[in-house]
Chain A
Amino acid sequence: MNLHLFVNEMRLQWYEMRQYWFETFSGLIFITCLFLGLFYGIKGFALEQGDGQSLDGLLFGFLLWTFASGAYGSVTKSVIEDTQKGYIEQLFLCPNGFISLMLSRSLSESFVGLVLLTAIAYVVMAITGNWLDINLAYFYGILLLSAPSLVGFGLMISGLALLFKRVETIGAFLTLGLMGLVALDGLPLNVFSFLPFVPGASLARDIVLEQSPLRLDHLMIVIANSFVYLVGGIFVFRAFEKQAKKRNLIGQY
C-alpha cells in the first residue's frame, strides 16, 4: 500500500460521490432509514422485555455490520464491478501491483465509510433519543485493526471472481453471513475466534459498548486474526491471479 495510491483512491471516491450526489445522498438516507426502521421495530419488543441493553446492542451491531460489509465489499466490488465495467486490466497495470491498489482502495473506502457511518449513527441517535456512549478513538482503532481480516477474506473471494467471474451469489450470501459474524462472540479465545472479524467485533462491543477495560490478550487475538486472514487472502489471490493470467482470464467476462 502506498500513500499516493491511498490519496488517489480518496480522490476517486470524491469524484464519484460528487458527480453522483443523488446516489450518494439516497444511499445515506437509505441506511439511515434502515437504521431507524430496525430501531423502532425492535424498540417495542425490547422495552416490553425491559431490556434496554439489547436495543443498544442492536444499534451497535448494525454499525458493525455496515462497516464490515463496506470493508469486505471494497475489494470484491472492485474486482467484480470493474471487470463488468471493463477497466480492470488497466488497474492491473498499476506499477505498485494490483493488491497494493486494492489495499489502498479498501483503506480509503473504510476511512470514508467510518466517517459517514459515525455521522449516520449520531443522526439516528438524535432522532431516536437513544444515545450510546461511544468512545470514537477506541471504536475507530478497533475497527481499523480488525478490518484487514475482512479485506483478506474479500481478496480470497475476489481471487475466485478472477477465475470463475460470476460469484455475486456467493458475495451476497457472505454479506448476509457477516450479520452472523458480527453477532458471534469470539473473545476470549474460542472456536469463533478463528472466523474473520469475529474477535474484532467482540472487542469493539466489549470496549466501546460495555466499556470493559482493554485486555492485551484479546487485542493480540484480534491482530492475529487480521494478520492471518490478510496474509492468507493475499496468498490465495496471488495464486488465482497467476492462474487467471495463464489462462488469459483477466478482464474477460
Chain B
Amino acid sequence: MLAVKDLCKSYAGESALSNVSFSLNRGEVVALLGANGSGKTTTVQSICRLIEWDQGDITIDNVDTRTSSTFLKQIGAVLGGCRNTNWRLTAKQNADYFARLRGFSGTSIQQNIEQLHSALGLDEHAKKEVMKLSTGNKQKAALLSALSYSPDFVLLDEPTLGLDFNTVNDLQLIIKERAQTAEQGFLVTSHDLGFIDKICDRVVVLDHGQLLFEGSLDTLKARLFKYELNIELNQPIDVSILNDLWAGRFDLQTDQQTIKVNYESPEQSLKMLHYLHEKNIQPLLLQIESLSMEKAYQTLVQQKDSK
C-alpha cells in the first residue's frame, strides 16, 4: 500500500499542502481532485520525491520513501505537461530505456511493451520519434513508458489533457484492465470528472492544500447537489423567509434581487416557486439546471469556501 500521512509543504511561508493523508492499494484506482493550485501536482511530485516536503511521511508497504530510493522501481509516473519522454526516441525505445533505467529488462518486459504498444494504438506510429507524434500520442508514449515495467503504483498527473474522446476511452479501458488484471494501483489527477467517474473506486479532494473529502465516488456524489435554481428579480424581497421555503439538503446564496440555490431533488423547489407565484413576484430570470458532475463538484468547493 502507498500511504501519504499528514503531508505538509509550504513555499516561502505559504502553505501548499497541509496535513494531507490518504492511501492507495494495489488494484485500486483513486482520483486526486482539486482546482488549480489545490496541491494535486505537489502531492504527486512528493510521492516521486521530486519535492522535499516539510512534514509527514510517504510510505510504500510501510517503508519510508526517504530511507531509500529503491521504491522508485515500484512507481511509474506520467507527470504533467508532456515532460516524460525523450523526444528523439520512438515510443517503444522510450519504454525500453525507462524500463532498463528502473533495472527491468528481458523477454517479459519486451512482450509487455509490445502488447501495450498495440493496445495504445501506437503500432501505426512505431517508426516515428515522439517529437513527430500528436499531443495525444505523446501522452500515450508517456503512458507506455510508465507502464512498461508493470510498476505496482502508477501516478498519472492530468492524463487526459489534450486527448480526444476516443483516446480518453482507450485510456479508461487500459487503466481499468491493468488495475483488475495486473493489480496495479493508479492515482489519477484530473479536471475531467467524467473520466474519473468511469474509472475510479475512491476519490480524494484537495482544496487549497487541505483534504476536503476522501471516500467512495458514490459518497462524494451523495454529497454533491444535483440541481441549481437561479432567479433574478425586478424588486427586492425579504430574504429572511427564503430558508423556510426549502426542505432537505440545500445551499442557498442570495442578495436582495438574486437567488441561487443548489439542491438534491426537483420537488424541493416547488415551495419556492409557489411563494413567488403567490406573492405575484415577476422574475427577470428563472432557470433550473441539472448539474454536471464537474459543476456539482465546484459547488462542493464553493460550499467549503463560504463556510
Secondary structure call for the A interface = helix
Is B36 at the interface (CB under 8 A from chain A)?
no
Residues of B within 8 A of A248 (CB): 11, 42, 45, 50-51
Is B72 at the interface (CB under 8 A from chain A)?
yes
In chain B, residues 67-86, which have Cβ atoms closer than 8 Å to a Cβ of chain A?
69-73, 75, 77, 79, 81-86
Can you list, as one digit per residue, whether each of B75-107 has a CB less than 8 Å from chain A (1) or not (0)?
Answer: 101010111111111000100111011110100
Q: Are A95 and B102 interface neighbours, CB within 8 A?
A: yes
Smallest Cβ-Cβ distance to A101: which chain B residue = B101
Is B8 at the interface (CB under 8 A from chain A)?
no
* Docked pose: A250 CA to B73 CA in angstroms: 20
- Kindly provide the distance from the CB of B187 to the nearest chain A CB, expressed in whole angstroms: 15
**Of the 9-residue stretches A51-59, A85-93, A106-114, A165-173, which lies at the interface with chain B?**
A85-93
Is A175 at the interface (CB under 8 A from chain B)?
no
Q: Are A95 and B48 interface neighbours, CB within 8 A?
A: no
Q: Are A85 and B102 interface neighbours, CB within 8 A?
A: no
Q: Are A92 and B85 interface neighbours, CB within 8 A?
A: no
Q: Are B129 and A4 interface neighbours, CB within 8 A?
A: no
Is B52 at the interface (CB under 8 A from chain A)?
yes
Q: Are B97 and A89 interface neighbours, CB within 8 A?
A: no
* Docked pose: A164 CA to B11 CA in angstroms: 17
Q: Given A15-B93, A20-B88, A87-B85, are A94 and B51 also a contact pair (CB < 8 Å)?
A: no
* Interchain CB contact (< 8 A) of A94 among B50, B87, B89, B102: B102
Q: Are B101 and A89 interface neighbours, CB within 8 A?
A: no
* Docked pose: A15 CA to B79 CA in angstroms: 24
In chain A, residues 237-251, which have Cβ atoms closer than 8 Å to a Cβ of chain B?
242, 245-248, 250-251
* Interchain CB contact (< 8 A) of B70 among A15, A85, A95, A246: A95
* Docked pose: A87 CA to B84 CA in angstroms: 5
- Kindly provide the distance from the CB of B40 to the nearest chain A CB, expressed in whole angstroms: 13
Count: A-B pairs, CB below 8 Å: 95
Q: Are B100 and A90 interface neighbours, CB within 8 A?
A: no
Q: Are B86 and A85 interface neighbours, CB within 8 A?
A: yes
Is A97 at the interface (CB under 8 A from chain B)?
yes
Residues of B within 8 A of A96 (CB): 69, 103
Smallest Cβ-Cβ distance to B86: which chain A residue = A87
Q: Given A15-B89, A97-B69, A247-B11, are A92 and B50 also a contact pair (CB < 8 Å)?
A: yes
* Docked pose: A93 CA to B82 CA in angstroms: 16
- Kindly provide the distance from the CB of A241 to the nearest chain B CB, expressed in whole angstroms: 9
* Docked pose: A88 CA to B87 CA in angstroms: 12
Is A69 at the interface (CB under 8 A from chain B)?
no
Is A8 at the interface (CB under 8 A from chain B)?
yes
* Docked pose: A144 CA to B181 CA in angstroms: 48
Given contacts A87-B85, A95-B71, A251-B83, 9 further A-B contacts (CB under 8 A): A5-B101, A90-B83, A92-B50, A94-B72, A95-B70, A95-B103, A97-B69, A248-B45, A250-B51
22 contacts across the A-B interface (CB closer than 8 A)? A4-B103, A12-B86, A19-B88, A19-B89, A86-B81, A86-B82, A86-B87, A87-B85, A89-B45, A89-B48, A89-B84, A90-B84, A90-B85, A90-B98, A93-B48, A93-B72, A94-B72, A95-B70, A95-B71, A95-B72, A96-B103, A101-B101
| Interfacial residues, chain A to chain B (CB-CB below 8 A) | 4-5, 7-8, 11-12, 15-16, 19-20, 85-97, 101, 242, 245-248, 250-251
